[in-house]
């Protein structure tokens, strides 16, 4: 597969857009003192994003997707977010391959 100039520019543009939102947020928020409630909210944001990504899986009838969702819920109850995502992807891939 050969990478064309438009594809490369698209990838670089998406990377710049993603990175710029993080840099701008950092520049605007650095040095500010936040209340404990706001700090807790910032800690919960990654979990909220993951829920918004995973929530549509509750409405599927796909066996591999439901298996991955079940794995994510089981692992999330005992382990961290990374292990939960890894187990969901692994179970989904395995079931997709087997079925």
* Three-state secondary structure call for residue 64: helix
Question: Are residues 85 and 52 both part of a single domain?
Answer: yes
* Three-state secondary structure call for residue 3: coil
Closest CA to 25 of 48, 5, 42, 40: 42
Residues 31-77: pLDDT tens digits?
888 888 888 877 777 777 767 776 776 787 889 988 988 898 899 88
Question: Are residues 20 and 4 both part of a single domain?
Answer: yes
What is the domain count for the chain? Answer: 2
Question: Are residues 21 and 38 both part of a single domain?
Answer: no
Task: Give me 85's structure tokens.
Answer: 């995502």
Question: Are residues 48 and 8 both part of a single domain?
Answer: no
Task: Give me 93's structure tokens.
Answer: 């891939």
Question: Are residues 63 and 89 both part of a single domain?
Answer: yes
What's phi and psi for 96, nearest 5 deg?
Answer: -65, -40
Q: Is the Cα torsion angle 16, 21, 22, 26 positive or negative in sign?
A: positive
Q: What is the domain range of residue 65?
A: 34-99
The pLDDT of residue 42 is 76
Average pLDDT over residues 12-39: 85
């Amino acid at each position: 597969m050969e990478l064309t100039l438009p594809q490369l520019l698209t990838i670089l543009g998406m990377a710049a857009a993603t990175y710029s939102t993080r840099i701008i947020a950092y520049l605007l928020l650095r040095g500010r003192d936040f209340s404990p409630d706001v700090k807790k909210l910032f800690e919960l944001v990654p979990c909220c994003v993951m829920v918004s990504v995973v929530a549509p899986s509750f409405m599927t009838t796909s066996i591999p997707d439901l298996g991955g969702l079940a794995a994510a819920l089981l692992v999330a109850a005992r382990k961290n977010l990374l292990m939960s995502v890894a187990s969901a992807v692994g179970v989904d891939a395995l079931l997709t391959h087997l079925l």
